[in-house]
Amino acid sequence: MTKRGLGKGFESLIPTDLVEEDFDPTAAEDEKISDLRVVAIDTVVPDQDQPRRHFDEEALQTLADSIREHGILQPIVVVPSKHGTFEIVAGERRWRAAKLAGQAKIPAIVRTLGAQHKLELSIIENVQRSDLNPLETATAYLKLKNQFNMTDSDIAKRVGKALSTISNQMRLLGLPDYAKEALIGGNLSEGHARQILALPDEKARRQLFDNILKDGWSVRKSEQFVIGYKKGNSDEPTADRSTSAHKATMTETDVTRAIAARVGLKPESITQKTTAHGGAIIIKFADEKELAQIQRALGK
């Protein structure tokens, strides 16, 4: 999958959430109005209307150290300004860190102010479409964040969505490629995808993905696998046992609600992956009156 960006470096220090061209609904339009070039760093000036004025010096120095070693992954976005300068639209932190690192030049996406505004409107219009797949929508949100200096809250307001929706959607871009393909193909739901993302390592993610596709796991069961995996100290069999145990507990709760009585459910073996191989349901009652209520609930 193609990613727009320059260089390689530490993901924790330099932004690597680059826009994937494969999922960018405005890629063709962007190409017509954007000029990716390397410009002299002294010709770049910050946006005077930028509300952010404070930049953590220690964090900037850490980023500058990484830039010295690995370069800049993601170009800043600028518009031509007066006297041959370029005004920053997005990426002021990167620009400041690059100056600290002693860089003479910096990669920049150059757009006219009119083109920048037109592209912003186009992206917002695109995310209102119903035919975009989840990754295309996520990429559009990410583009607004990275290239238009918008916060998640700003994006939520502009597109009329809940803040949590914006954040959750963009997280989908962190899925492994095989999960992205399944999501686009309709074989994986967004709910399932979020559970895969909740796992800490690739082996566990692949295990859950296979369980979802091969065994038809529900989102709820996937969630319990994640909980079990983490409680089991990254041990997959323990995660499976926890999933099974939760299934038993949920059945107990369901029966309790159905007959308004205390219920105890005992699977044959807690090591089984499911309770489908048998078990015992114990219904408890305090007196004859409660027994009569249970009988009525059971149709006796």
Q: Which two tokens stand for residue 156?
A: 């939520």
End residue of a domain, out of 86, 112, 130:
130
- Interatomic CA distance for residues 228 and 245, integer angstroms: 10
Residue 171 has pLDDT above 60, yes or no: yes
What confidence score (pLDDT) does residue 100 get?
93
- pTM greater than 0.85 (yes/no): no
Is 92 an annotated catalytic residue?
A: yes
Assess if residue 239 is contained within a domain.
yes
Q: What is the CATH number of the domain that holds 71?
A: 3.90.1530.30
- Catalytic residue, from 92, 120, 136, 223: name it: 92
Buried b (16+ CB within 10 A) or exposed e, 188-220: bbeebbbbbbbbeeeebbebbbebbeeeebeee
Q: Which whole number is the average pLDDT over 154-159?
A: 92
Residue 139 has pLDDT above 90, yes or no: yes
What ranges make up the beta strands (E) of 97-205? 105-110
The tally of domains found in the chain comes to 2
Q: How confident is the model at residue 13 (pLDDT cuts 50, 70, 90)?
A: very low
End residue of a domain, out of 130, 159, 178:
130
Assess if residue 273 is contained within a domain.
yes
Same domain for 28 and 118: yes
Assess if residue 160 is contained within a domain.
no
Same domain for 121 and 214: no
Same domain for 110 and 27: yes
End residue of a domain, out of 69, 103, 130:
130
Assess if residue 153 is contained within a domain.
no
Residue 90 has pLDDT above 70, yes or no: yes
Show the domain range for 288.
200-297
Assess if residue 241 is contained within a domain.
yes
Q: Which two tokens stand for residue 35?
A: 């000029």
Which tops the pLDDT comparison, 266 or 37?
Answer: 37
Q: How confident is the model at residue 52 (pLDDT cuts 50, 70, 90)?
A: low
What confidence score (pLDDT) does residue 276 get?
44
Assess if residue 190 is contained within a domain.
no
Assess if residue 33 is contained within a domain.
yes
